[in-house]
Amino acid sequence: MIKTGVIGHPIAHSKSPLIHNHWIAQYGLEGSYEALDIPPEDLTKRLPELLRDEGYAGFNLTIPHKEIAMDICDVIDDTARAIGAVNTVWIQDNQIHGTNTDAFGFMENLHTTSGIGAALILGAGGAAKAVIYGLLQAGVMDIRIANRTRSKAQALATDPRISVVDWDNREQALIGADLLVNTTALGMDGQPALDIALDNLAEGATVCDIVYAPLMTDLLIRAQRRGNAVITGIGMLLHQARPAFEKWYGVLPDVSPLLIEKLSSSGLTGGSK
């Protein structure tokens, strides 16, 4: 029996139990995946106890634990270090290992970067870090970041291929972009829509939203209407879960139409894992 789960605070709206328990059943494994609500001040004590004393094989970590977990892990891989956040942990030889699967999730969902010379990323939070890391790894040569708080975008511009654009100039930065990615919370249920006119965006450009509730955000609806290819956020949520599941259960699961259907009809709320 391999026990796993997701730890967050709050955690009630997490879709991860639905996804991982679907795979446990699909692959006929002896396992369980639970949602654990642990406040940030308790994580440093509780995470090692759960892994070392209470028989858990590993966890996903979500808001607000991804950064704190960096200090709890004994071993952190290059991806988590580059992104500055851990979203997956597992125990091996009594050592707590950490990685980050969000960049993998974003890139798998994007499917291909062929033809992407320039990308405009809106937002500079944790999700933006993973998106930018994935795009850099894939060889995208011109990455523009626009964020309401410019200093946060500046902090992510650690590579010569990255440039920072003022939030007020985000529409001009669409000129020549092959990809637009919204990593802000704007457009999520309960939040205002993202305010950006798409007139400067090329017809062949792709628009990707990492918000998945609603699935078709105002941004994606407007982009689709003018003929751009659109990518919803549900795929990133599903694909980031795959390498985590593989760490714990030894199987890299697939994203089947049945799972997408199950998730879509489960009443998507919130916007995080």
x/- contact string, 57-96, with ligand ATR (CB under 6 A)? ----------------------------------------
- Exactly one of 17, 84, 125, 176 binds ligand ATR (CB under 6 A); that residue is 125
Spell out the SS3 assignment of the chain. Answer: CEEEEEEECCCCCCCHHHHHHHHHHHCCCCEEEEEEECCHHHHHHHHHHHHHCCCEEEEEECCCCCCCHHHHCCEECHHHHHHCCCCEEEEECCEEEEECCHHHHHHHHHCCCCCCCEEEEECCCHHHHHHHHHHHHCCCCEEEEEECCHHHHHHHCCCCCEEEEEHHHCCHHHCCCCEEEECCCCCCCCCCCCCCCCCCCCCCCEEEECCCCCCCCHHHHHHHHCCCEEECCHHHHHHHHHHHHHHHHCCCCCCCHHHHHHHHCCCCCCCCC
CB of 262 to ligand ATR, least distance (A): 24
Region from 117-125, 197-205, 215-223, 245-253 binding ligand ATR, contact rule CB under 6 A: 117-125
Residue nearest to ligand ATR as judged by C-beta position: 125
Q: Applying CB under 6 A, which of residues 6, 35, 57, 186 lies at the interface with ligand ATR?
A: 186
Nearest to 108 by CA among 220, 254, 219: 254
For residues 2 and 215, which CB has a smaller minimum distance to ligand ATR in the complex?
215
Chain CA centroid to CA 9, Å: 17
Judged by CB under 6 A, which of 11, 127, 135, 213 binds ligand ATR? 127
131 binds ligand ATR (CB under 6 A): no
15, 66, 129, 247: the catalytic one is 66
Rank residues 70 and 75 by Cβ distance to ligand ATR and give the closer one.
Answer: 70
Binder of ligand ATR out of 44, 92, 95, 149 (CB under 6 A): 149
Q: Is 162 in the site for ligand ATR (CB under 6 A)?
A: no
Span interacting with ligand ATR, options 23-31, 67-75, 142-150, 156-164, rule CB under 6 A: 142-150
Structure tokens at 181: 């990615």
Binding-site string for ligand ATR from residue 164 to residue 183, where x marks contact by CB under 6 A and - marks none: -------------------x
Verify whether residue 45 is a known catalytic residue: no
Distance in angstroms (rounded) separating the CA atoms of residues 80 and 247: 15
Residue 145 near ligand ATR by CB under 6 A: no
In angstroms, what is the minimal distance from the CB of 233 to ligand ATR? 11
What single-letter amino acid sits at 226? R
Please identify every residue annotated as catalytic: 66
Contact residues: ligand ATR, CB under 6 A:
123-128, 147-149, 152, 183-186
